[in-house]
Amino acid sequence: MVDWNMTELKHILKAEQFTDIKELDRLFGLADELRAADEKGQVPQSLAGKIVATLFFEPSTRTRLSFEAAALKLGAQVISTENAREALSANKGETLQDTIKIVNGYADIIVLRHYEKGGAEIAAEVSEIPVINAGDGAGEHPTQALGDVYTLQKELGRVAGLKIALVGDLLYGRTVHSLLPILGLYKDVTVYLVSPPQLRFPKEYTKTRIVLKEFDNVEEILPEVDVLYVTRIQKERFASEQEYQNLKGSYVINGENLKKLKKEAIVMHPLPRVDEISSEIDSDPRAAYFRQAQNGLYLRMALLSEILK
């Protein structure tokens, strides 16, 4: 594992690299400053002259566009491919390592999404410029987790003491794999793991001081939680269409569910959603998922500024 310190240029590969709440608070504070500057049209062009390469071997909307928007707002230029698995020379048999070595000559930082778990770590081993893991198969998605914790701070004013339900595909859902280690930095957090038996949270990500409680039924925990964090069933990770169809729609959050949820609770989702959150609740003030996506932009602006300053 590559340790990461906000005073040095390092790769961002796993959530467990983040071990200091004060460093996170400083990062979140910078995100707030950049948000305020953006609202005034006065974002500092601190990355002018830098080039950010976004290499996405799997489809992405929010992560790729938010990283690219973050870079452009800070004055950097972007070189990008949204379908690298087919569009780059990987389609001709080129290794990931060779691709990374080539891009090292073109850019100052690489934002990488790869279909293989551990793909970002493979890239970092041969890269002389920073690599940010923007999702590695069913592995991790650390910048999403940072944005999620930033959202908790903005929406609820705290992370310590929260009761958080993670609902849906906990086996393949890389966003929740990264979220748990960061939540574990805070005191008295309780996490309810709600999933079908076939999609339980992997044991390798549950090494934490958080109190974990496992459930099949989401209904029974709704009145207790402060945060309902819903994830989609990861269709692209299943070996067969039938296996996916058997589990699709295991949990659907709708208006009836929200009646059982605390008035001050929030509903989060890393998006995209399929059928697991009904659009009827989009107008409810507790539906925080679109604000969550916007928060991800400013969190990534803060990360890029820190790494490339």
| Mean pLDDT in consecutive groups of 10 residues from the start of the chain, 309 residues | 49 93 96 98 97 92 95 97 63 83 97 94 96 93 96 97 94 90 94 89 78 89 96 72 67 91 96 90 96 97 94
State residue 91's pLDDT score. Answer: 56
Main-chain phi, psi angles of 112, to 5 degrees: -120, 125
The C-alpha atoms of residue 1 and residue 128 are separated, in whole angstroms, by: 16
Structural domain contains residue 7: no
Residue with tokens 């707030």: 32
On whether both 133 and 198 belong to a single domain, the answer is no
Predicted pLDDT of residue 278: 93
Q: Are 90 and 84 in contact (CB under 8 A)?
A: yes
Give the pLDDT score at 1: 31
86: CATH: 3.40.50.1370
Nearest to 286 by CA among 193, 151, 179: 151
Residue 2 domain-assigned (yes or no): no
The predicted structure's pLDDT at residue 118: 93
Total domains, the chain: 2
Selecting among 10, 62, 262, 273, the annotated active-site residue is 62
Residue 270 lies in a domain: yes
Instruction: Decide if 262 is catalytic.
Output: no
Tokens in use for 122? 């493979």
| Residue range of the domain that includes 36 | 15-141+295-308
Q: What is the pLDDT of residue 10?
A: 81
Domain presence at residue 10: no
Which entry of 63, 99, 206, 231 is annotated as an active-site residue? 63
Indicate whether 115 and 147 sit together in one domain: no
Q: How many CA atoms lie within 13 A of 183 on its CB side?
A: 31
- Tell me what pLDDT residue 13 has: 96
Residue 63 annotated as catalytic: yes
Annotated active-site residue in 11, 14, 141, 269? 141
Encoded tokens for 103 = 């891009």
Measured on CA atoms in the order 134, 276, 147, 15, is the torsion positive or negative? negative
Which of these is catalytic: 22, 92, 203, 259?
Answer: 92
Q: Is residue 200 part of a domain?
A: yes
**Cα(3)–Cα(60) distance, integer angstroms:** 27
At 206 the pLDDT is 73
Tell me the β-bridge partners of 1. none
pLDDT of residue 169: 86
pTM, whole model, 2 decimals? 0.91
**So what's the pLDDT on residue 235?**
64
Answer for the pair 149, 183: CB distance below 8 angstroms, yes or no. yes
- 2 vs 34, 78, 98, 134, CA distance in Å? 27, 25, 21, 16
Residue 248 counted as domain residue: yes
Catalytic site residue from 35, 64, 113, 174:
113
11 is catalytic: no
Residue 223 CA to residue 133 CA, distance in Å, equals: 35
> What is the chain's length?
309
